[in-house]
Amino acid sequence: MITGVTIDLLSFLNTPSYRNRVLAIGIGTAGCRIASQLQHMSSSIGKFIYVSCDEQDFPQIGERILIPLGVLGKLSPKVVRGAALKYLKNIDELMKDSFLIFLISGLGGSVGTGLAPLLAERIHKSGALGVGIFTMPFKFEKDKHFYSAITLQRLKGLMDAMIIIDNDEILESMKELPIIDSYKSINRLIASALNSMIEASAESGLNVGIRKFIDTVKCNGYSILCLSQSSSINRGEEAIIGAIHSLYRVADPEKATKAILFLMGGSVSLNEVSTVISRLNSLVGNGAVEIHYGVNNNLSTNSLLTVALLTSGFPKTKFDDYDPFAKIPYNIDDEVDISIDLELPKLERID
């Protein structure tokens, strides 16, 4: 994790046009879909770039970079990386002048795993503040675990903040949503949780904002986003316990140092806010966790309450165990295969 980056976030946020210098980059299928949901909701992120090898990943709006793979070679992270080399200048140009960059990707697939470290390097070199938002594969996607784990570790050394989302846990939290089209529902939930936390003002309620968001996630460790929903009579209690259970399954909650708690739903009461915060305080971070909270009271009469819990400061997560060789130093994730691009006259340096 990068330390010592001197960035005056406060004066940046005080400039009237700061949104134009906030960029989100979606990579691969999952990354493009989540970024696209965010683009529909966000007024704090001024620019979106979509990078993928599959044209179908791109939404209608936003800057797109298609990295064609042709028909040669097996699709693997190193092949994707090799094919991407000649587009890096393009990407550098598009991210020029950005102060804050969100890099959004699913890890484990060839495109996200191949491109995320490459783009994280470019963000790091550009001097922008880099916040990674990465979804981790489902339990049943065993073939994706190893690559997701080594990529996560590589990214940790390149980004200023790392937000991990466990797809399994998000799915678990959506018991009350129709299973049909579940990726779409998961993405909407993730995007609205992140958006609620970074928006300058909640439509109706209490906001958190970019400054507190960055303050929470910029730490020497991982941040974890957990979501939980309930519409029972004790919905506050039930939703926060659900979110904390999720956290327990991903990392050691005692290691948490900071948290953002966001409540989204109809008619959220002060009583519910207070219940949720005191539960969090008693069950996470040995009672010493620094909590920011926000509320988005939507106008629906629906009794569904969604709790979004973003906790930070975790030195490790369950995903470290996805890499059986974690204790042996090696660089497999840096491999680049350029055989797919027979016409590339000479390799561009990427450092």
Ligand X SMILES: Nc1nc2c(ncn2[C@@H]2O[C@H](COP(=O)(O)OP(=O)(O)OP(=O)(O)O)[C@@H](O)[C@H]2O)c(=O)[nH]1
Q: How far is the CB of 182 from ligand X (least distance, A)?
A: 9
Q: Choose the stretch contacting Mg ion; rule: CB under 5 A; options: 24-32, 63-71, 87-95, 281-289.
A: 24-32
State which residue, 39 or 167, has the beta carbon closest to ligand X. Answer: 167
CA distance 218 to 295: 22
Contact 85, 348 (CB under 8 A): yes
Q: Which of ligand X, Mg ion, none does residue 309 bind (CB under 5 to 8 Å by kind)? A: none
What residues numbered 285-314 form the site for Mg ion, per CB under 5 A? none
State which residue, 167 or 306, has the beta carbon closest to ligand X. Answer: 167
> Is residue 148 at the binding interface for Mg ion, with CB under 5 A as the rule?
no
- Give the CB-nearest residue to ligand X: 109
Segment holding 222, helix H or strand E:
strand 222-230
- Work out the burial of residue 230: count CB atoms within 10 Å of its CB; fewer than 13 is exposed, 13-18 middle, 19 or more buried: buried
Which residues are 131's β-sheet partners? 102, 161
Q: Which of ligand X, Mg ion, none does residue 313 bind (CB under 5 to 8 Å by kind)? A: none
| Coil, strand or helix at 288 | coil
CA distance 200 to 108: 33
Backbone angles phi, psi at 184, to 5 degrees: -60, -45
State which residue, 114 or 313, has the beta carbon closest to ligand X. Answer: 114
DSSP state of 174: T
- Cα dihedral: 185, 309, 112, 5 (round 10): 150
CA distance 321 to 142: 12
- Name every residue whose Cβ is closer than 8 Å to that of residue 48 and which is 6 or more positions away in sequence: 23, 24, 25, 26, 35, 36, 38, 39, 61, 62, 63
Q: Which of ligand X, Mg ion, none does residue 183 bind (CB under 5 to 8 Å by kind)? A: ligand X
- Give the CB-nearest residue to Mg ion: 29
CA distance 226 to 292: 15
* Total Cβ atoms within 10 A of residue 138: 15
State which residue, 18 or 102, has the beta carbon closest to ligand X. Answer: 102
> Is residue 29 at the binding interface for Mg ion, with CB under 5 A as the rule?
yes
Q: Which of ligand X, Mg ion, none does residue 106 bind (CB under 5 to 8 Å by kind)? A: ligand X
State which residue, 106 or 132, has the beta carbon closest to ligand X. Answer: 106
Q: Which residues bind ligand X (CB under 6 A)?
A: 28-30, 33, 54, 75, 106, 108-112, 135, 137-138, 141, 144, 167, 183, 186-187
Q: Choose the stretch contacting Mg ion; rule: CB under 5 A; options: 13-21, 29-37, 156-164, 312-320.
A: 29-37
Q: Choose the stretch contacting Mg ion; rule: CB under 5 A; options: 28-36, 86-94, 124-132, 293-301.
A: 28-36
Copy the structure tokens of residue 323: 């890499």
Q: How far is the CB of 142 from Mg ion (least distance, A)?
A: 18
Q: How far is the CB of 55 from Mg ion (least distance, A)?
A: 11
State which residue, 111 or 224, has the beta carbon closest to Mg ion. Answer: 111
State which residue, 111 or 263, has the beta carbon closest to Mg ion. Answer: 111
Contact 259, 312 (CB under 8 A): yes
Binding residues vs Mg ion (CB under 5 A): 28-29
